[in-house]
Amino acid sequence: MNLNSELLDIAKRARKAAYKMVEISSDLKNHILQQMAKILEEEKEYIKRENKIDLQAAERKGLSAALIDRLRLNDQRIKEMADSLREISRLNDPVGEEIRAWKRPNGLVIHKVRVPIGVVLIIYESRPNVTADCIGLCLKAGNAVILRGGSEALKSNLAIYQVLEKITKKYKLPEGAINIISTPEHKVVNLLLKMNEYIDLVIPRGGEGLIKEVTKNSLIPVIKHYKGICHVYVDEFANLNMAEEICFNAKVQRPGVCNAMETMLVHKDIAVRFLPHMGKRFIEAGVELRGCPLTRKILKGIKKATEKDWITEYLDLILSIKIVDSLEEAIEHINTYGSHHSDAIVTDDYSNALRFLNLVDSACVYVNASTRFTDGYQFGMGAEIGISTDKLHARGPMALEELTTYKYMVFGEGQIRK
Amino acid sequence: MNLNSELLDIAKRARKAAYKMVEISSDLKNHILQQMAKILEEEKEYIKRENKIDLQAAERKGLSAALIDRLRLNDQRIKEMADSLREISRLNDPVGEEIRAWKRPNGLVIHKVRVPIGVVLIIYESRPNVTADCIGLCLKAGNAVILRGGSEALKSNLAIYQVLEKITKKYKLPEGAINIISTPEHKVVNLLLKMNEYIDLVIPRGGEGLIKEVTKNSLIPVIKHYKGICHVYVDEFANLNMAEEICFNAKVQRPGVCNAMETMLVHKDIAVRFLPHMGKRFIEAGVELRGCPLTRKILKGIKKATEKDWITEYLDLILSIKIVDSLEEAIEHINTYGSHHSDAIVTDDYSNALRFLNLVDSACVYVNASTRFTDGYQFGMGAEIGISTDKLHARGPMALEELTTYKYMVFGEGQIRK
């Protein structure tokens, strides 16, 4: 059997499983998630052994220490995976929720009801914990899932999958409910992306290169979790102490994540009062500053920011700074150079706050708070599969509800169209 | 200037306009829609003159009478276009609607608010009225629109656009709010489909070939309005009189539309009682019947249905019939061969009704009603841009609300992440 028909078989089995999974009760799903958490911890020695093979290969290949660290599974990280599954088991089940119901003049009663999407393909790089997280989230939302992890984590991902599969078998989930593609061939991804007849959604989780390649080749709808070029705009009417705390938090608290600030915009009228102390604090915290010409007149000696800086996600202790003439210029800068992820204004002016909220075209817009709150847990939505920078279907934190769609259930008594 | 940079200019202008359109009040949008309706009727002679050029070209090219009829604009059809714009002006404005709001333990208040999608590209064949409808719907939902109609209706589409543009100019809508691409070159579409940086959504309205080509080439998310292979399943516990009325309505009332029935499924235990009279009524109405082997034992002399019939959207007075052993077989047939559009069960059995609603994976599932109700107006949603057979973002009738997305507006008082 060739590779394509093997993959097709997996996709078809997942499709069939998905048709049945809508019927599984929340109680059973939650119990399975709890059991999955338990077995992950019970089988941790096996998982660590398989992980070690990946780690050794990574060392032989000379991967960076940071990458090798992300790959490593220890007792603590396995416990975190298990805890995450337990957490998912405690979240509300979105399937079956009634979004709206109404009665038509002809007596038809229409219910708009949340249902699973069907078959979700997840293509991911990096951390093996994604394997368990995605299985848990997709299962809870009633979806069949096909996983395709990175080659460097092949053994680890497969081990986690095999351990969790014992539970899906024990509780007789439909065959095909959870799937992993473990053949190393690179072309697997492009073959899967053509199977739009059986797969409903693809979520690429990884770097820009991966996301662009998936978008280019996919016949299946894609939800992109793209980069975060997030801004904080310090308005002329800002409380400058608050602005300093928010900007510092947005940049420094965890610089390597997508909701960290990459560019700080400062109104010209408060720049001379705000920037010296703020700049000093950043520099003391080890932040490299890059400024526009006006900024560099106030913060002497910092690097020059170029056009490229405005579109760069540093994911690091680097910050670009621009002084703007007006709220409008700040908004235009954000809409032009940003990634429509998370942006904040610090202001005490009512109308500037509202204009910023309305006119900045981003998934999450903040007044007087740090962009670092864009996160499923922080929003109270629970575990998330990522932060969508797309506008369709899911925008911002993508949690259980965003892993569902809806259908219209229409109750009649013999109505026909006139 | 080459074609690609010309198109890029249009896309960029639309993007800029979209950023401003979120601020336009409902009152102004509704007034503009009313004025657009008025000017369409005032300028009908001009529109008919331009339409005549298209009609003459179509005749020279030897297009079918049906196609030429769809292309024709007369006083009645221009009035219908105007009435449709008036109707859109009376619908609720979805922009700004609060979907949900909640407060977090740290005091952050999160509002999930409906906002325009941004820039919508519509690629359509056939009827020129689509030009006015799409401009009206996109404008009301706060979106900038780029229209690309079929070459056979070029002059008609352009005339309608030019007339409506007088109103957008008079009321100073942002330049780029409405756009039409009138260069005849075919490659225009593929060039536009790569402009995902500026265009948020593409909706192809036309045949299977158009939709497949758009899906294959687009970097922009696509919402597909695909074919409707709709089923009515007559259960063993059906009221047979009701079943006959529903099936007749679903097939005969308007066979050329996507929500008409193409395959009738009949439970084996009632087939002998149900099929003879039903079949007679269909044949008297001029419906060509094609049956499975068991059906042909009851309805002697009808054609044989092949595998191909189960996946064919006839859009005509043709019906395929299959006798099934069980509810489960009916559901499996629908999920396997259907297009996930609209499917109905006729039954008096409570549990069969619920199982059908839950397990049939279609946008609209009916109990005891005709599939012909899948329609924005019939659902009470107003004018629609199509019936989505996709599962993401919009499923089923796609009206104003489905032409919006949402953003999270977060109100803080200085919160930072711990």
CATH number belonging to the domain at B230-373, selected among 3.40.309.10, 1.20.1730.10, 3.40.1410.10, 1.10.510.10: 3.40.309.10
Comparing C-alpha atoms, which of A179, A141, A231 is closest to residue A6? Answer: A179
Beta-carbon separation of B416 and A201 below 8 A: no
Q: At what angle do helices A44-61 and A154-170 cross, to 10 degrees?
A: 160
DSSP count for chain B of H helices, then E strands: 15, 16
Task: Find, among A173, A221, A378, the residue nearest to B219 by Cα.
Answer: A221
Check A396 against B415: CB less than 8 A apart: no
Residue B126 above 80 pLDDT? no
Closest CA in chain A for residue B407: A363
Q: Which residue, chain included where needed, has tokens 């817009």? A: A365
Q: What is the pLDDT of residue B383?
A: 87
Query: Which residues partner with A364 through β-bridges?
Result: A342, B408
Where are the extended beta strands (E) located within B6-138? 98-103, 109-116, 119-124
Sign of CA dihedral B159, B162, B166, B168: positive
Q: Nearest CB to A410: which of B118, B222, B365?
A: B365
Q: With contact defined as beta carbons under 8 Å apart, do B372 and A416 qualify?
A: yes
One-letter amino acid of A395: R
Q: Which pLDDT belongs to residue A1?
A: 63
Q: CA B199, B406, A193, A22 torsion: positive or negative?
A: negative
- What are the tens digits of pLDDT across the range B129-183? 999 999 999 999 999 999 999 999 999 999 999 999 999 999 999 999 999 999 8
Rounded to a whole number, what is the distance in angstroms from the first to the last CA of chain B? 53
Instruction: Specify burial of residue A131 (Cβ count, 10 A radius: 0-12, 13-18, 19+).
Output: buried
For chain A positions 241-300, those within 8 Å of chain B (CB to CB) are 242, 245-246, 248-250, 253-254
**pLDDT higher than 90, residue B186:** no
Signed CA dihedral, A286, A291, A296, A299: sign only: negative
CA of B53 vs chain A CAs: smallest distance (Å): 37
Q: What strands, in cross-sheet order, belong to the sheet with B230-234?
A: A98-103, A109-116, A404-415, B364-369, B342-346, B230-234, B261-267, B318-324, B288-291, B303-304
Q: How wide is the angle at C-alpha A70 spanned by C-alphas A212 and A7, nearest 5°?
A: 50
Q: Which of A256, A265, A276 is nearest to A305 (CA)?
A: A265
Tell me whether residues A416 and B246 touch, CB distance under 8 A. yes
CA distance B193 to chain A (A): 11
B-chain CB neighbours of A339 within 8 Å are none
| Residues B329-336, mean pLDDT to the nearest whole number | 98
How far is Cα B378 from Cα B257, in angstroms, rounded to an integer?
14
The verdict on ipTM greater than 0.90 is: yes
Q: What is the mean pLDDT of residues B117-121?
A: 98
Using CA atoms, how far apart are residues B320 and A200, in angstroms rounded to an integer? Answer: 28
A409 CB within 8 Å of a chain B CB: yes
Q: Calculate mean pLDDT across residues B340-366.
A: 98
Contact indicator for A356, A365 with CB cutoff of 8 Å = yes
Q: Among A410, A85, A237, A406, which residue's Cα sits nearest to residue B402?
A: A406
Main-chain dihedrals φ then ψ at residue B129, nearest 5 degrees: -65, -20
Instruction: Please state, in angstroms and rounded to a whole number, the distance separating the CA atoms of residues A416 and A12.
Output: 36
Question: Do B222 and A223 count as a contact with CB atoms less than 8 A apart?
Answer: no
CA distance B348 to chain A (A): 10
pLDDT classification of B410: cutoffs 50, 70, 90: very high
Contact A369 B416 (CB under 8 A): yes
CA–CA distance, A282 with A37 (Å, rounded to integer) = 41
CB B318 within 8 A of CB B303: no
For residue A341, list chain B residues with Cβ-Cβ distance below 8 A.
none
On whether any CB of chain B is under 8 Å from the CB of A364, the answer is yes
Say if the Cβ atoms of A410 and B215 lie within 8 Å: no
| φ/ψ (deg, to 5) at B184 | -75, -15
CA B312 from centre of chain = 19
Q: Which of A104, A219, A364 sits opposite B410 (nearest CB)?
A: A364
Q: Residue B54: is its pLDDT beyond 80? A: yes
Q: Where are the domains of chain B?
A: 3-226+395-411, 230-373
Pairing status of strand B396-398 against strand B386-388: antiparallel
CA distance B380 to chain A (A): 7
- All residues of chain B having their beta carbon less than 8 Å from the beta carbon of residue A216 are 219
- What's chain B's average pLDDT? 96
DSSP 3-state of B272? helix
Chain mean position to CA A25: 27
Cβ separation A379–B215 shorter than 8 A: no
Q: Which residues pair with A322 in a beta bridge?
A: A265
Nearest alpha-carbon partner for A384 in A394, A371, A397: A397
Q: Which residues contact A139 (CB under 8 A, 6 or more apart)?
A: A29, A32, A33, A145, A173, A177, A178
Q: Report the residue count for chain B.
A: 418
CA distance B128 to chain A (A): 26
Check CB contact under 8 Å for B417 and A253: yes
Q: Is-contact B371 B250, C-beta < 8 A?
A: yes
For residue A378, what are the CA distances in angstroms to A248, A367, B105, B133?
A: 19, 16, 10, 41
Residues from chain B that touch A361, judged by Cβ atoms under 8 A, are: 18-19, 22, 118, 407
Written as tens digits, the pLDDT of chain A (418 aa) is 689 999 999 999 999 999 999 999 999 999 999 999 999 999 999 999 999 999 999 999 999 888 899 899 999 999 999 999 999 999 999 999 999 999 999 999 999 999 999 999 999 987 899 999 999 999 999 999 999 999 999 999 999 999 999 999 999 999 999 999 998 888 999 999 999 999 999 999 988 899 999 999 999 999 999 899 999 999 999 999 999 999 999 999 999 999 999 999 999 999 999 999 999 999 999 999 999 999 999 999 999 999 999 999 999 999 999 999 999 999 999 999 999 999 999 999 999 999 999 999 999 999 999 999 999 999 999 889 999 999 999 999 999 999 999 999 999 999 999 9
The predicted structure's pLDDT at residue B1: 63
Q: CA of B184 to nearest chain A CA: how many angstroms apart? A: 26
Measure in Å the smallest separation between the Cα of A43 and chain B Cα atoms: 34
What part of B 25-84 touches A (C-beta under 8 Å)? Answer: none
How many beta carbons lie within 10 A of that of residue B69, not counting itself?
A: 11
Of B239, B373, B412, the CB nearest to A369: B412
- At B66 the pLDDT is 84
Contact A367 B201 (CB under 8 A): no
> What residue has token string 């977060």?
B410
Please give the residue of chain A at the shortest CA–CA distance from B393: A393
Contact A391 B405 (CB under 8 A): yes
Separation in Å, CA of A348 to nearest CA in chain B: 10
Please report where in the chains the tokens 């990459």 appear, as a residue.
Answer: A262
CA angle (A378 as vertex; A394, A343 as ends), nearest 5: 65
**Torsion (CA) B121, B201, A341, A331 in degrees, nearest 10:** 20
Q: Which residues of B touch A369 (CB under 8 A)?
A: 108, 410-416
Indicate yes or no: CB of A370 within 8 angstroms of CB of B416: yes
Q: What is the DSSP string of B314-375?
A: --SSEEEEEEESSHHHHHHHHHHHS-SSEEEEE-S-HHHHHHHHHH--SSEEEEEE-GGG-S
Cα separation, B77 vs B63, in Å, equals 20
Chain B positions touching A363 (Cβ under 8 A) are 407-408
Least CB-CB distance to A22: which of B221, B359, B373?
B359
Closest partner residue to B215 (CB to CB) among A22, A219, A242 is A219
Distance CA A299, CA A301 (A): 6
Contact indicator for B164, B40 with CB cutoff of 8 Å:
yes
The confidence score (pLDDT) of residue A164 equals 98
**Contact criterion met (CB below 8 Å) for A287 and A317:** yes
Contacts of A196 in chain B (CB under 8 A): 215
Residue contact A366–B412, C-beta within 8 A? yes
B340: contact with A, CB 8 A cutoff: no
pLDDT of B106 over the 90 cut = yes
Domain B3-226+395-411 sits in CATH at 3.40.605.10
* A358 at interface of B, judged by CB pairs closer than 8 A: yes
Interface subset of A 87-146, CB within 8 angstroms of B: 102, 104, 108, 110, 117-118
Residue of chain A whose Cα is closest to the Cα of B379: A104
Size of interface A-B (CB pairs under 8 A): 195
Tell me if B369 and A110 make a contact (CB, 8 A cut-off). no
pLDDT band at B24 (very low <50, low <70, confident <90, very high): very high
